[in-house]
């Protein structure tokens, strides 16, 4: 398995030093990302073009609690069905609003919170990204949406509540608790 880290411009040395302190046994490939998420993913996909993998996992570094189970199950599912994403069934009730008043309640039994990794047949994802770069569409927020627009059905792999996306100060505090718990257990 290859690992490619796509990083922000100007952070190459900092990322390499951080990875070196972890003492990882595998070789890591580094690619400078773009201004937007899709540009970064596209650059990572393009980097792999000369020696493409069969399956590729796209994972946000903002989710530091990825597990081996998620990786293994995602690879298995994508190898079988062409694509999948890690997801958690909703337990909260969701409501749609017009900005002032509630309009409707959404059926939570068919709704999921999507996490990463999102895992796909490499060629399917590369083609979807090439099409997107030729004719960008507003409102696309992840790689699943690119393939959904092409009629692609995407499987689900059970996620983990600890696989949080760290984007706010509260998330950072929660991540510290999760990390401490994982170290002591």
Token pair belonging to 25: 């046994």
pLDDT per residue over 84-122, tens digit each?
Answer: 999 999 999 999 999 999 999 999 999 999 999 999 999
Of residues 57, 39, 43, 74, the one with CA closest to residue 2: 57
Q: Distance of alpha carbon 90 from its chain centroid, rounded?
A: 18
Give me the DSSP letters along 91-125. Answer: -S-EEEESSSSEEEEE-GGG-EEEEEEEEEEHHHH
Kindly tell me if the per-residue pLDDT of 128 is higher than 90: yes
Span of 20-29, 133-142, 147-156 with lowest mean pLDDT: 20-29
Contacts of residue 162, defined as CB under 8 A and 6 or more positions apart, other chains included, come to 65, 178, 182
* Residues facing residue 4 across a β-bridge: 29
**pLDDT of res. 181:** 92
Quick check: 168 pLDDT over 90?
Answer: yes
Using the predicted structure, report yes or no on whether residue 26 has a pLDDT greater than 90. no
pTM confidence score: 0.90
Domain edges within the chain = 34-184
Architecture of the domain made up of 34-184: Alpha-Beta Complex (3.90)
d(CA 185, CA 183): 6
């Amino acid at each position: 398995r290859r690992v490619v880290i796509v990083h922000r411009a100007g952070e190459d040395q900092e990322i390499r030093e951080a990875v070196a302190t972890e003492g990882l046994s595998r070789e890591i490939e580094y690619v400078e990302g773009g201004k937007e998420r899709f540009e970064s993913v596209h650059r990572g996909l393009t980097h792999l073009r000369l020696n493409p993998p069969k399956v590729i996992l796209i994972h946000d570094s903002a989710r530091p609690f990825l597990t081996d189970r998620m990786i293994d199950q995602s690879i298995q599912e994508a190898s079988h069905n062409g694509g999948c994403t890690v997801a958690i069934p909703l337990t909260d009730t969701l409501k749609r609003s017009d900005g002032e008043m509630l309009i409707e309640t959404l059926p939570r039994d068919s709704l999921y919170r999507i996490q990463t990794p999102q895992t796909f047949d490499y060629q399917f994802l590369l083609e979807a990204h090439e099409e997107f770069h030729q004719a960008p569409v507003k409102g696309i927020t992840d790689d699943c949406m690119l393939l959904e627009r092409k009629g692609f059905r995407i499987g689900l792999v059970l996620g983990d509540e600890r696989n949080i996306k760290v984007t706010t100060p509260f998330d950072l505090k929660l991540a510290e608790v999760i990390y401490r718990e994982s170290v002591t257990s």
